[in-house]
Structures are given as structure tokens and as C-alpha cells.
């Protein structure tokens, strides 16, 4: 049996080929690892931002409650004041001039919103109230002022009215619609807006 030994020239031609291949594979693996880390970081950041956004939106309930309590107190103590705009209190006696496609940020930039003290987690809450009427600084029934209203007994006997056939007819209660818009500025400059329509007896 004759053994064949590789020649020195063939061995010399193969010397050092594995090193460039290994380096190329290593670079590809490093790029794949960097892409994976970046993807995980992005997903974590998006999840955190959504969490902050949801937390800020939930804090808007405090603004809705504070604004409604202000309206309720005004209606009980000095109802005629609801016919007049009170910008330091964040109250407007008519709809926004650009309704229905208005930008609530215009109110905050002009410093006419009512701000609340920061809550326990540092959310900054402010609100504005708009009476859903066409003309500012006018009484609800004055012409040409038109307001969005709701009657307590529309479509039938209202709450508190007697259903007896010979009972006295009680006067219907008319309510005005008020729109409360709340802005919440939370952690990492998270900004959320919440709106709610409430009913207050007309004066």
C-alpha cells in the first residue's frame, strides 16, 4: 500500500483561510445580537410609555370631579355667575370658537385653564369648562343665545313627577350641557386629554 502525502504547496494554499471566515461569522453574530437588544429595548420603552399614558388618563378623573364640583357649587350659591365667562376659573360661558374641530391645546397655551395641585405620583392636572351655548355672557333663555339642553321629563313623565291621572303637573326641570376638558401631564412628558359632558340645572 502506498501512502499519499499532501504536497507542501497545497498546505500552504489553505493556510489562514479559516480566520477570515470566522471573523465574518463573528461580525454577523454581533450585528444580530445588537439588533435583538435594540428590539427588546424598543418594546420595553413602548410598554413603559403606554403604562405612563394609561396612568395619566386615569388621573383625569380628578380633574372631571373638581370641575363638576365647581359647577355644582356655582349653581347652588350664585347660579347667575354661570352666564358669565370666568377665565381665571377656567370657565367659558359659550362653546369654543372653533367647535367642533377645536384644538384644546390653545386653551392651555394661553394660561386660561384651571390647574390642580400635582397628585401623589406627580401628574399635573388642569381643566377648562365650556357651557354648550352659542353666545358668551348671555343668560340661557336670552335671544339669540342657543344652548344644548335636556329636559328631565322629555318623552314622558319625568323623575319626581306624579303619575296619577288627577295629580298636579309639576314643572319640568331643564338642564344645560357643560363640557369639561382635562389635560394631564405625567411622567416622561406624557400628555393625555379627557373630556366629559355633564348636566347642570338651567338658571
pLDDT at 154: 46
Query: Quick one: pLDDT at residue 132?
Result: 93
Let me know if residue 87 belongs to a domain. yes
Q: Is residue 75 one of the residues assigned to a domain?
A: yes
11, part of any domain: no
Mean pLDDT of 59-81: 91
- Exposed, middle or buried, 65 (CB in 10 Å: 0-12/13-18/19+)? middle
Please state, rounded to an integer, the average pLDDT across all residues of the chain: 76
In a domain? residue 162: no
Domain-located, residue 1: no
What pLDDT does 151 receive?
A: 80
With respect to residue 42, please indicate whether it lies within any of the assigned structural domains. Answer: yes
* Structural domains in the chain (count): 1
In Å, how far are 24, 45, 184 from 32, measured between CA atoms? 12, 20, 40
In a domain, 158, yes or no: no
Per the CB < 8 A criterion, the answer to whether 104 and 127 are in contact is no
Distance CA 122, CA 124 (A): 6
Lowest mean pLDDT among 4-8, 73-77, 140-144, 166-170: 166-170
Grid cell of 86 as nine digits? 370666568
Is 102 within 8 Å of 110 (Cβ atoms)?
A: no
Give residue 168's pLDDT.
47
Structural domain that includes position 132:
17-152+171-201
Q: What is the mean pLDDT of residues 164-192?
A: 74
Amino acid at each position: 500500500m502506498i501512502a499519499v502525502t499532501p504536497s507542501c504547496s497545497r498546505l500552504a494554499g489553505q493556510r489562514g483561510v479559516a480566520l477570515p471566515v470566522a471573523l465574518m461569522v463573528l461580525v454577523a453574530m454581533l450585528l444580530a445580537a445588537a439588533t435583538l437588544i435594540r428590539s427588546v429595548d424598543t418594546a420595553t420603552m413602548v410598554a413603559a410609555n403606554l403604562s405612563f399614558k394609561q396612568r395619566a388618563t386615569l388621573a383625569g378623573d380628578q380633574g372631571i370631579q373638581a370641575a363638576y364640583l365647581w359647577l355644582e357649587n356655582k349653581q347652588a350659591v350664585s347660579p347667575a355667575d354661570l352666564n358669565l365667562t370666568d377665565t381665571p376659573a377656567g370657565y367659558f360661558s359659550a362653546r369654543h370658537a372653533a367647535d367642533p374641530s377645536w384644538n384644546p391645546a390653545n386653551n392651555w397655551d394661553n394660561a386660561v385653564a384651571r390647574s390642580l395641585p400635582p397628585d401623589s405620583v406627580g401628574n399635573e392636572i388642569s381643566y377648562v369648562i365650556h357651557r354648550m351655548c352659542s353666545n358668551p355672557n348671555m343668560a340661557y333663555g336670552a335671544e339669540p343665545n342657543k344652548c344644548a339642553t335636556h329636559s328631565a321629563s322629555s318623552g314622558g313623565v319625568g323623575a319626581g313627577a306624579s303619575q296619577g291621572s288627577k295629580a298636579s303637573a309639576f314643572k319640568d326641570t331643564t338642564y344645560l350641557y357643560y363640557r369639561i376638558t382635562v389635560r394631564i401631564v405625567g411622567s416622561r412628558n406624557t400628555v393625555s386629554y379627557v373630556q366629559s359632558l355633564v348636566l347642570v340645572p338651567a338658571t
